[in-house]
Amino acid sequence: MRKTAIGAIIALSSGLFYGFCVKKSEDSVKIMVCKAVEHEALNSVVRGMEDYLGQQSGKYDISVETCQGNMALGSQIISKFASSGARVVVTIGTTPSQSAFKFAKSGKIKLVFSSVTDPDDISSNLRGTNTTGVSNFVQLEPQIELFRKIQPELKNLGIIYNTGEANSVSIVKKLKPVCEKMGMNLLEQGISKISEILQTTEKLSKMVDAVFISNDNMALSAMSSIVAICGKNNIPVYVSDTDQVEKGCAAALGPNQYDIGVQTGKMVKRIVDGEDINEIPVEYPEVSELYINRKSPVKISDDVKSAAKKIF
């Protein structure tokens, strides 16, 4: 008799638990995320978004996949998201955003991109396409001025970028006139696969006074190697991504990627709460922060240090 009663209680408890899980699943809002690649900057964006949405009263079911910088794979992932009933699709980086745009334009998804340097690389006209997002672009002039302030004799600036990554190509085009205006030479080294980075960095570090990596996902994923090679040749590495300074980069003047994630989460919530995505304009970083590394190959003045948000 006692065993029967216990069994009934267990069965009832199991049923209640199962019912709770089903209800939670039915009530949760599906937010599906596709990242360009795996590296700390994009992971910070995801954390910021997840933390913000986790603080809200609504229940969010967030899943994350990575397309490894492959547009075809990105399209497959987004197609799967579209057919699974995602309330909002979030793409982090330019490659998956380009893959997702055709699904948004045809009305299959609502797309919020994040950490995209140049939204024009997705489309020059996002109006009425069920697409909006948060760019990670910050003006190049203040960054180059910072590098020159750290290195007054900086003449030759090298940049490593993926020739197949639209945002990186766009940055190089914008950077050329900025360097010319400041009397600097920009030495470009394009790569098409990650296996080229070591040799490219070794070559470039012997030709320049400093190396600049600006939001290129392929280069960022190999940042430890770039810093090690440049450090061996006493060449500082500057970045736009503040998360990379702790890894040995000399300095960064740019957005906090975690904060971009929070900004993205706020936008997602607005859409889930019923705001028309087509009435939400693209946003840009709310602030830029200066991070510096005291162990960099060049001495950083106290004047620069005093303006830093963080010093490693």
32 pairs with which residues across the strands? 63, 89
pLDDT value at residue 291: 97
pLDDT of 3 higher than 90? no
- Summarize pLDDT for 235-275 with one digit per residue, the tens: 999 999 898 999 899 999 999 999 999 999 999 999 999 99
Q: Which domains, and CATH codes, for the chain?
A: 2-137+257-279 (3.40.50.2300), 140-255+289-311 (3.40.50.2300)
DSSP string, 203-237: HHTTT-SEEEE-S-HHHHTTHHHHHHHHHHTT--E
Under 8 Å between Cβ of 91 and 97: yes
Which tokens belong to 58? Answer: 């609504």
Q: How far is CA 196 from CA 4, 171, 294, in A?
A: 68, 20, 29
Residue pointed to by tokens 């065993």: 3
Percent pLDDT > 90 in the chain is: 80
Residue of higher predicted confidence among 40 and 36: 36
- State the Cα–Cα distance between residues 269 and 110, nearest whole angstrom: 12
pLDDT value at residue 114: 98
For the segment 220-230, the average pLDDT, to the nearest whole number, is: 94
pTM metric for this prediction: 0.83
pLDDT value at residue 300: 94
Residue pointed to by tokens 């899980």: 21
Residues contacting residue 31 through CB under 8 Å, at least 6 positions apart: 53, 60, 61, 62, 63, 86, 87, 88, 90, 268
pLDDT value at residue 215: 86
Residue 63: pLDDT band (50, 70, 90) is very high
pLDDT of 1 higher than 80? no
Mean pLDDT (the chain, rounded):
90
37 phi, psi to nearest 5 deg: -150, 175
For the segment 197-203, the average pLDDT, to the nearest whole number, is: 96
For the segment 167-172, the average pLDDT, to the nearest whole number, is: 91
Show the CA angle centred on residue 189, arms to residues 188 and 192, nearest 5°.
Answer: 135
